[in-house]
Amino acid sequence: MENGDKMKIALVGAHGSGKSTLISSVYSELKKKGLRVNLSPEVARSSLFLAANEKTPEMQMDLFGRQISIEMTFSRNCDLLMCDRSVFDILMYTRLFFPDNEQAISFAKSMENFCKDYKKTYAHFFVTTKLYSPSNVKDDIRPKEQELQEKADKNLRATLDEFGIEYTLLGNEPENEMVSYLTNIL
């Protein structure tokens, strides 16, 4: 990486796959190494739509816009921005949650058009492969159905493939894999 260059990576995966825990741990390790990194949080965790249990196409569009905004905001003053999710997660969930809703289909098409160029802002994607039981998650944000989680996992990879995005599937030691990869390129 050239001096002054900035890089953005995304950790993506189905809900309940340990993304937030993993990316926080990797962030801490990289900070200990003295690297200038920042972490953009998952936007759904602070969604007023989800807090009000309003799961609608409008909520998905709000999450999409907020994801872009938070990535831009958190990319300041760092060499590496680590994103807990990406616009591609939100696109995939829009399609998954509302497959027959005309407004959601229209929103998804807009998201797709934006993603075609926006994908260039990401240097790399890491994809979680371990799924934890969503019924054990103690929050009101994530869906609790195991079948939906498995479908999200499959659909996210298909979405990344659809856009020609290269990614690393994380294995048994995801933290070590990410830290090693990122340390080598920074």
pLDDT band (50, 70, 90) for residue 2 = very low
pLDDT band (50, 70, 90) for residue 173 = very high
**Whole-number pLDDT of residue 147:** 87
Amino acid identity, position 171? G
Question: How many beta carbons lie within 10 A of that of residue 134, not counting itself?
Answer: 20
Cβ 126 vs Cβ 12: under 8 Å: yes
Q: At what angle do helices 174-185 and 19-32 cross, to 10 degrees?
A: 40
CA distances 146 to 13, 23, 92, 104, 154, Å, are 14, 23, 17, 23, 13
Q: What are phi and psi of 90, to 5 degrees?
A: -65, -40
**Whole-number pLDDT of residue 141:** 59
Lowest mean pLDDT among 51-60, 80-89, 95-104, 110-119: 51-60
3-class secondary-structure state, position 69: helix
> Could you tell me the domains of the chain?
7-185 (3.40.50.300)
135 has a pLDDT exceeding 90: no
User: CA angle 158-164-169, nearest 5°?
Assistant: 60
Mean pLDDT (the chain, rounded): 91
Instruction: Please tell me whether the overall predicted TM-score, pTM, comes out greater than 0.95 for this model.
Output: no
**Whole-number pLDDT of residue 110:** 98
Cβ 40 vs Cβ 71: under 8 Å: yes
**Whole-number pLDDT of residue 27:** 97
DSSP state of 45: G
